Amino acid sequence: MAEFFRKSVLAGIGLITEGSEMMNKLIKELVKKGEISQKEGEKLLKDLLKKGDEARKDLTKTLHEGAEEVLGRADIATKDDLDKLTKRVAAMEKKLRTTAKTK
């Protein structure tokens, strides 16, 4: 399930990247045709890239939240859960070694 979300995020980023390249070409063409100035083209591209970056961040956040919700409902242990259990087991092993040495 996590792999699906990871691939979804990567696909979204790929679409945004592809879109920014297409926008850059379109803006260059508009400048070349004289429909907008070079300065206007640069500002437009900057604004569009900023919006694209914000959209990418929103998509990543939404997918992350969705993944957490799905994992929570599926009752699957999270990395944090596993880290806590690993620490508990390590503490118990240490205590057992200490107890075994004193016998």
Q: How far apart are CA 16 and CA 76, in angstroms?
A: 31
Residue 99 within any structural domain of the chain: no
The verdict on residue 6 lying in a domain is yes
User: What is the mean pLDDT of the segment spanning 4-33?
Assistant: 73
Q: Where are the alpha helices (DSSP H) in 34-78?
A: 38-74
pLDDT at 13: 64
- Structure tokens that stand for 78 in this block: 């999270």
Task: Judge whether residue 56 has pLDDT over 60.
Answer: yes
Q: What is the pLDDT of residue 72?
A: 75
| Unique residue bearing structure tokens 């004193």 | 102
Q: How many folded domains does the chain comprise?
A: 1
If one compares 31 and 12, the residue with the highest pLDDT of the two is: 31
Q: Which two tokens stand for residue 5?
A: 């979300």
Residue 69: the pLDDT is 83
Residue 87: inside a domain? no
85 located within any domain: no
pLDDT of amino acid 73: 80
Residues of the chain with pLDDT > 70, as a percent, come to: 82
Rounded to an integer, what distance in angstroms lies between the CA atom of residue 43 and that of residue 59?
24
How many residues are given for the chain? 103
Q: Determine, yes or no, domain membership for 60.
A: yes
The reply to whether the predicted model has a pTM over 0.85 is no
Q: Is the pLDDT of residue 90 over 80?
A: yes
User: Does 86 map to a domain?
Assistant: no
**Selected residue with higher pLDDT from 44 and 83:** 83
Do the domain assignments include residue 37? yes
Nearest CA among 20, 18, 12 for reference residue 50: 20
* The pLDDT value given to residue 82: 94
103: in domain: no
Q: What angle do CA 36, 38, 42 make, to 5 degrees?
A: 100
DSSP 3-state of 72: helix
